[in-house]
Amino acid sequence: MLQFKGKKVLITGGSRGIGEAIAVAFAQSGARVAINYRANKKAAASCVKKLSGKGHIALQSDIADPAQAATLVENAVEGLGGLNIVVNNAGIYLSHPIASVTFSEWHAAWRQTIDTNLVAAASICYCAAQHMMRNGGGRIVNVSSRGAFRGEPEGPAYGASKAGLNSMSQSLAVALAPHNIFVGVVAPGFVETEMAAEWLDGKLGDAIRAQSPLGRVARPEEVAHAVLFLASEGAEFTTGTIIDVNGASYLRS
């Protein structure tokens, strides 16, 4: 098992699904964890109780608001006594097929999705990097999506936001490497989470599972495993890497 004893980790969208699995994995490996949540205080408290060890905290913030994103990083540094690793996991998916929504609905979906999935991550990266540059470096791992590569016809803003997240991450990998800050990306396909339940439990569920030769979708713990690898000591030369966690359901060159 990878070891993170004494490391301080901030995870956005950390109270459920993939974020919770990442938090659990880091805690089991010896890290102190701050999970960010937007509104569901009960879920956040439940997640903290599941974490091994002591000193974990839950921090409320709507990171789509740049001021709140900056405050979140400050509160994580203060609450944990430092910050070594950031995982930008928070994200939303809004269905807005171009053939069936109004222009106002179309624009609203784009604005909300980009602000949450891309601009918020950019804000967190900036603020975390300022701290890391003053304190010997760190790790940033951004959670993207298979949709960044294959497209998302029902939710094009989602695919675009994740493609932007990939590009931003690789730009930051180059910019921050001289400061001993390493940036990586994990790009899952469908994962067994509340966010995907509507699709997986619906009439398309079997077809979605059949996209992978494994005949299933990913478990949150499998995504967490990839995140911890990118954040680990010894993985520095993978900076700028995008790891696909989609069970060979979509292969890119």
Establish whether 145 is a catalytic residue: yes
Catalytic entry in 7, 29, 162, 249: 162
- What single string gives the DSSP state of each residue in 97-118? -TTTS-HHHHHHHHHHHHIIII
CA–CA distance, 36 with 25 (Å, rounded to integer): 16
- What single string gives the DSSP state of each residue in 32-83? EEEEEESS-HHHHHHHHHHSSSS--EEEE--TTSHHHHHHHHHHHHHHHTS-
Q: How far is CA 73 from the centre of its chain?
A: 15
Instruction: Say which residues have a Cβ less than 8 Å from residue 16's Cβ, sequence separation at least 6.
Output: 40, 43, 47, 193, 194
Q: For the chain, how big is the Rg over CA atoms in Å?
A: 17
Establish whether 29 is a catalytic residue: no
Catalytic entry in 61, 123, 158, 161: 158
CA–CA distance, 235 with 228 (Å, rounded to integer): 10
Residue with tokens 């699995």: 21
Q: What are the E-state strand segments in the chain?
A: 8-12, 32-37, 57-60, 85-88, 138-143, 181-188, 242-245
Establish whether 93 is a catalytic residue: no
Catalytic entry in 123, 145, 161, 232: 145
Q: Which are the catalytic amino acids? A: 145, 158, 162
